[in-house]
A and B are shown apart, each in its own frame.
Chain A
Amino acid sequence: MASLAGLDRRPGFFGREQVRQRVLIWCFLAPSLLIFLAYRILPLLWNLLLSFEEWSPYRPARWAGLDNYQEMLFYDDVFWQAFWNTLIFMASAPVGIAFALGIAVLVDADIRGRDAYRTIVFLSYPLMTVAVGIIWRWMYDERVGLINFVLRALGLIGEPIAFLQSFAWSLPAVIIASIWQILGFYMIVLLSGLQSVPRELYEAAAIDGADAGARFWRITLPLLRPSMFLCFVIGMLNSFTSFDLVYIMTNGGPGHATELLVTYIYKLGFVQTKFDTAAAVTVVLFLLLLALTWAGNRATGGDAGAVERG
């Protein structure tokens, strides 16, 4: 290989040097591998084991077979509520991606101040979600929130709506806040996808008489597939990991109207100390994520490898 070019000239040392190099490579990889082993892989396996046990911090573990799953799937209404809420949350990802695509196309245009627009749209993404949740609680406030104020000023509603206390409105309200925060990230990913589309393709299509709409649907969109897939994966991860936003805005309430699988896992595990049941819910969460990533990969043409080919 090219990187060993310097060594090829010293065949006598080749073997020893190669061993040295190999040891060095694994030393470079070891710390990261250990972190991922301790905090990703091992927990995943342990979690699977836990889900088949009857376990709490105060009792020795006992093999429970499918008891936890049985209880969760057949007797636990809150689990099903959290399950469907998580799915709805995920189903909202394409809405955010579609908005972001529109914005990305606009800020890709050759206009003045486009860097400023990009910065403004992206700004909300790196912010602390706890603070964002508090800000949005205030936006939705029944008495003095900006949203009620605007809706009333426009004459769209007569009486103010207590969005976050309402069974019908609380989940959409949380989802809107979540899309608001992640929109900029989608935009940046899609923008880099747009910029990698060769300009000659557009010119050739224009010569062949394709109008702007046709160019968008026939060239831009198909070539954006890898970027769309990445957005889709990030969006799904986001809907699983929106713990902070839900915890701050509603804590799963009213009732369990905004309960997500992840908030339910937290409550089961760390409020009720039912680690075993929480582990079973976690397994469902993980399988759901795998299934949806697979489906998403299929839907976008199966080129997930193009996103991150090592």
Chain B
Amino acid sequence: MRAPALILAVTALLAAACAPADQATPTPTRVDGVACTKDKLATLTPGKITFGTDQPVYQPWFVDDDPTNGKGFESAVAYAVAEELGYAKTDVVWTRVPFNAAIQPGKKSYDADINEFSITDERRQAVDFSAPYYDVDQVLITLKSSKAASVKTLAEVKKVKIGAQVGTTSFEAAKRLSPEQDVAVYNTNDDAKAALRAGQIDALVVDLPTAFYITSAELDDGQIVGQVPGGDGRPEQFGIVLDKGSPLTGCVSNAVESLRSKGTLAKLEQEWLSSAGNAPELK
């Protein structure tokens, strides 16, 4: 066992030595026998890391629908993860991947996809998830003029017509409220907002940071009703999506964990999601 160990140590040293000087020292970690450094990672383009995300992308996760500016929580996390793996800012490439394309079984056009993907056991059958980078709460929002504005309890919520975006855990949360009328399902939160303005739904479930952005910046008389109770007691978490069985998963997870222990994640949350305080919980 000594010879392979020696080889590994030497390659790790070489990897460290090869890294450009103008960046943070790469962590010479290895996960599942893979060295987590730029020149050893089997990315699509050697020496570059390709992140995928949808188009359009929204505040506060991205700013100005431009993932490359490093602004917005998820863009910042992506660049932090890349740096942790030894990539310079210029080594990060972005590609636009619609939801369905991100999870199809064929060849992927990205190394890692960051797009508010909630981690579930069921979804793990189809893709790999990194360690979670954000714990998310689901909240109900409405217009001040709507009858949902005065709702305080879970029993009152059942009388309200609720909408949500398809394919989101917000939709699952809306169903958990078991409203009397079917949950209306929209392609995007933009469509759902149109339906809210038109009075076709009384309230809309979105995640907390999105809720703060929508109610403060997008709707003139928007209001947060309250927090939707969680499903099975476990917090809902966002993870970076990677191809099923991707050799990068361990390293990306490792990078996320390292960012958490260094306090970088908390700092980025503070910077981009700081307005996301707490919403009263519906009981």
Query: Do A and B assemble together?
Result: no
